[in-house]
């Protein structure tokens, strides 16, 4: 039976075994999917051992996404742009890598939640790895404006310049600090910082969230995070956490490995925590 796994540190919280086992049952795929905790200094050795034991592919979670991209012999454009990979596929001596985080985010926003990105104003909070993974898929949706806001202005500007250098439209992609947001509201605001994990709030001004727009927190399973509480207080009608993104990126990896894309609705509903 084909073997797959998720590798991270720590890994006990991961929902990936549950998700991929459900996908396999729903699509009739014969596979076993497990969780592997790698030592902080042992990612490559852990992957090598899994490959030697016949493993076909892995998902990669924190803190190894950068190492996963560097480990690969054939990283996809998305992985190169992000500088990180969350999925590896093994083909003999070759190791293919891709980053499905941003694809999962876009699919959740557009297909599951029904919010258009094309022609809209989008705000990304944070300039770390989560934002790097989201930028290219969001830009491919042709937003009217995409602003990257970060506490460190230099980091936001450097990230924007990097993507403009890769061909992103300079008139669409902009970056700066939270104080640079101006007075206009954004149609889609995505919290790509880790602030919600510590029940903290990024310093986004409430006026940046449009009441008829979408406030999306990539963190999932935490209920109404401080960011979503701010949006609720602002009167934003549509709130979402990252559970849909989690399941959608998993479905993309599953399809990449197995050639069949599972339905995601049942699994998303199973994992969803009420936003209260």
Residues with a catalytic annotation lie at: 65
CA angle, residues 191, 195, 199, in degrees to nearest 5: 115
Cα dihedral across residues 73, 105, 273, 233: positive or negative: positive
The crossing angle, in degrees rounded to 10, of helices 243-258 and 16-27 is 50
> Strand, coil or helix: what is 108?
helix
- Residue 105 burial by Cβ neighbours in a 10 Å radius (0-12, 13-18, 19+): buried
The structure tokens 């963190």 sit at 219
d(CA 78, CA 234): 34
Residue of 135, 80, 85, 138 whose CA lies nearest to 108: 138
d(CA 241, CA 11): 20
What are phi and psi for residue 73, nearest 5 degrees? -90, -25
What ranges in 108-199 are assigned the alpha helix state H? 129-139, 153-165
Residues 19 and 221: beta-carbon distance below 8 Å: no
């Amino acid at each position: 039976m084909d073997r797959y796994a998720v590798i991270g540190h720590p890994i006990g919280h991961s929902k990936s075994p549950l998700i991929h086992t459900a996908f396999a049952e729903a699509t009739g795929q014969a596979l076993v999917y497990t969780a592997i905790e790698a030592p902080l200094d042992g990612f490559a050795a852990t992957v090598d051992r899994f490959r030697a034991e016949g493993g076909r592919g892995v998902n990669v979670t924190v803190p190894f996404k950068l190492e996963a991209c560097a480990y690969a012999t054939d990283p996809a454009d998305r992985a190169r742009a992000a500088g990180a990979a969350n999925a590896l596929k093994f083909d003999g001596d070759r190791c293919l890598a891709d980053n499905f985080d941003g694809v999962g985010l876009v699919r959740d926003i557009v297909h599951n939640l029904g919010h258009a990105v094309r022609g809209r104003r989008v705000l990304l909070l944070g300039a770390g790895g989560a934002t790097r993974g989201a930028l290219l898929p969001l830009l491919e949706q042709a937003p009217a404006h995409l602003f990257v806001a970060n506490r460190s202005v230099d980091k936001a500007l450097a990230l924007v310049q990097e993507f403009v250098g890769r061909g992103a439209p300079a008139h669409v992609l902009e970056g700066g600090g939270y104080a640079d947001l101006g007075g206009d509201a954004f149609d889609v605001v995505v919290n790509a910082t880790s602030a919600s994990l510590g029940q903290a709030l990024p310093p986004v001004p409430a006026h940046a969230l449009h009441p008829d727009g979408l406030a999306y927190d990539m963190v999932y399973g935490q209920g109404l995070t401080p960011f979503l509480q701010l949006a609720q207080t602002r009167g934003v009608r549509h709130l979402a956490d990252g559970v849909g993104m989690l399941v959608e990126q998993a479905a993309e990896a599953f399809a990449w490995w197995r050639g069949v894309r599972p339905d995601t609705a049942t699994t998303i509903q199973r994992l969803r925590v009420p936003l209260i």
